[in-house]
């Protein structure tokens, strides 16, 4: 009776095994736990502070709550009533949802063209789109604002939607393109042999496979737009102010109500946390698309 001879691992495979062994060691696990604790402590302190009475916040640090526990919901009630916070909460949704959907739609179409349509200058144009990621947002604010004023859009939702779309498109196209290039070309060729055109290939073959990439960029763009302050300060009028703009002025004149900032911050954090935790399984898969060739 013969036995199969074990295959000798290549140098790369041996390095991968050694790396996984090191990452699975008790020391690595301990380091990961310590990093998680250090990362969580500031957030936990902010959460505890948001429930402490005003006098206690002014008098002592949040860690004293374990010795002299005292909690109240007054900070949240006052924060929700200050500066029309509930209206700004709705404005944040009105700003964020289109600012996520519009760049995803445009990026999907552009990425498909770069990945599967052969046209002259494709590589140069894709490199130019990729290079747009390094342009600082601050450089574009005044030219964009000037253009919006000329178009008569200044102070409306459109200025914020268009700005976030412009700033998010380069990364969206790059991410979608990398994910599309990982899809086997045989699938596209088989669909074309069956008589499928670009529209049918895009919607019936590629779209079901692009869910991780779409969800990944959707999370990234949602978090960025929801937490953005610079674009809102520049383009959004007071009537259309999102939560970040209202929270920035929540402390009142001369910072007299700074104790409300922790409650306001957690009101603003609630929605992004729900979005990220519900879609996190797609996040890493989408970001790693195209990073490793199997």
pLDDT tens figures, 182-211 = 888 888 888 888 887 888 888 888 888 888
**What is the mean pLDDT of the segment spanning 74-84?**
82
Dihedral sign, CA of 36, 38, 42, 44? positive
- CB neighbourhood size of 144 (10 A): 18
**Is 199 domain-assigned?**
yes
pLDDT category, 23, cuts 50, 70, 90?
low
Confirm if 131 and 241 have CB atoms less than 8 A apart. Answer: no
Model pLDDT, residue 4: 52
**Is 59 domain-assigned?**
no
**Is 188 domain-assigned?**
yes
**Is 239 domain-assigned?**
yes
| CA 93 – CA 130 distance, rounded (Å) | 29
Pseudo-torsion of CA 182, 186, 187, 193, nearest 10°?
150
Is residue 150 exposed (0-12), middle (13-18) or buried (19+ Cβ within 10 Å)?
A: exposed
CA 250 to chain centroid, in Å, comes to 25
Model pLDDT, residue 215: 85
Q: What percent of the chain has pLDDT over 70?
A: 85
| CA 99 – CA 95 distance, rounded (Å) | 6
Tokens of residue 267, six digits: 């009101």
Our count of domains for the chain comes to 1
Which single residue is written with the structure tokens 């690595």? 28
Q: Which residue has the higher pLDDT, 8 or 269?
A: 269
Q: What is the pLDDT of residues 120-166, one digit of tens each?
A: 888 899 889 888 888 888 899 999 999 999 998 888 899 999 999 99
**Is 53 domain-assigned?**
no
CATH number at residue 191: 1.10.3720.10
Model pLDDT, residue 13: 55
| CA 45 – CA 43 distance, rounded (Å) | 5
The Cβ-side half-sphere exposure at 96, using a 13 Å CA radius, reads 25
**Is 166 domain-assigned?**
yes
What is this structure's pTM? 0.78
pLDDT over 60 (residue 287): no
Model pLDDT, residue 292: 43
| CA 282 – CA 275 distance, rounded (Å) | 12
* Mean per-residue pLDDT over the chain, rounded: 82
**Is 30 domain-assigned?**
no
Q: Domain range spanning residue 140?
A: 81-287
Q: What is the pLDDT of residues 262-285, one digit of tens each?
A: 888 888 888 888 887 877 776 666
Model pLDDT, residue 207: 86
**Is 27 domain-assigned?**
no
pLDDT category, 241, cuts 50, 70, 90?
confident
Intra-chain end-to-end CA distance of the chain, in Å: 35
Q: What is the pLDDT of residues 83-131, one digit of tens each?
A: 778 888 899 999 999 999 999 999 999 998 898 888 888 889 988 988 8
pLDDT over 60 (residue 17): no
Dihedral sign, CA of 291, 128, 209, 197? negative
| CA 180 – CA 201 distance, rounded (Å) | 12
- How many residues belong to the chain? 294
Model pLDDT, residue 203: 85
């Amino acid at each position: 009776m013969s036995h199969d001879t074990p295959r000798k691992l290549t140098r790369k495979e041996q390095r991968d095994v050694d790396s996984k062994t090191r990452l699975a060691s008790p020391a690595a696990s301990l380091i990961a736990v310590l990093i998680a604790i250090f990362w969580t402590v500031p957030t936990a302190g902010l959460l505890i502070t948001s429930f402490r009475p005003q006098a206690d916040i002014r008098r002592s640090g949040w860690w004293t709550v374990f010795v002299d526990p005292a909690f109240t919901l007054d900070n949240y009630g006052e924060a929700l009533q200050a500066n029309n916070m509930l209206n700004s909460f709705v404005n944040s949704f009105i700003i964020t949802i289109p600012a996520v959907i519009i760049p995803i739609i445009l990026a999907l179409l552009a990425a498909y063209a770069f990945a599967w349509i052969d046209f002259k200058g494709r590589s140069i144009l894709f490199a130019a789109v990729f290079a747009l990621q390094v342009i600082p947002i601050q450089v574009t604010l005044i030219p964009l604002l000037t253009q919006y004023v000329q178009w008569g859009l200044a102070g409306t939702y459109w200025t914020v939607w268009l700005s976030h779309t412009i700033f998010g498109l380069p990364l969206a196209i790059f991410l979608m393109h990398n994910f599309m290039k990982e899809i086997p070309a045989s699938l596209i060729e088989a669909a074309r042999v069956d008589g499928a055109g670009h529209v049918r290939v895009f919607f019936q073959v590629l779209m079901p496979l692009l869910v991780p990439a779409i969800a990944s960029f959707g999370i990234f763009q949602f978090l960025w737009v929801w937490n953005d302050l610079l674009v809102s300060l520049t383009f959004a009028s007071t009537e259309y102010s999102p939560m970040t703009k209202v929270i920035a002025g929540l402390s009142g004149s001369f910072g007299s109500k700074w104790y409300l900032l922790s409650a306001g911050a957690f009101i603003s954090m609630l929605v992004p946390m729900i979005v990220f935790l519900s879609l996190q399984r797609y996040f890493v898969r989408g970001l790693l698309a195209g990073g490793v060739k199997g």
